[in-house]
Structure 1
Amino acid sequence: PREALALVINQKQVILHVQPEQLAAVREQGARGRKELPEVGYLEVVGDARLDQGGCILETEIGIIDASLDSQLAALQAALTESVARSGEEEGDAG
């Protein structure tokens, strides 16, 4: 969640949704993170039963960011697939 908070560093209000079982640990971590990220105005950490293990959603005035591990892995896979496709195109152009 600390890395996710860096995405919304200049927001006045941030609501961090996590799995209820992770709530206490994330609140403790969030308290430490507030010292490292004083730019975030108000941070509320709430339990959200809709989230799977590792789930994390940031809600701000400008929108919602899904910072769940599954979402990050899907984005990484998409980026790698695109990179491989580009590499194949470049090899085809060179030949």
Structure 2
Amino acid sequence: MNFKEIISSDKPVLVDFSAEWCGPCKQLAPILEQVKSKVGETAKIVKIDVDRNRKVADQFQIRSVPTMILFKDGKSVWRQSGVQPAHVLENLIKQYSK
């Protein structure tokens, strides 16, 4: 499955653009686990390593990590760089799960 197919879901897809060497990205991992356990099957959460997926990172102009983009039906509906609290991400996903 390619990236375009992944983000073209009718469910919200939260993509975490990150890197192995990034400290804040490591902080974000348990937050995303918590969000995943709360939202369950209502959304997908996908991690993309920018160093291994340069083409996708360039396509979405990822300049800093972590950057998260929420996609709905293949379109970017929200974008934010930096670590976000779990409740912010949960509310965002709920908003686009309707």
TM above 0.5: no
Q: Indicate the structure whose relative CO is greater, using CA pairs within 8 Å and at least 6 residues apart.
A: 2
TM tier relative to shorter chain:
0.3 to 0.5
* Structure with the largest fraction of helix: 1
Query: Which is higher, the Rg of structure 1 or of structure 2?
Result: 1
TM-score (norm 1): 0.41
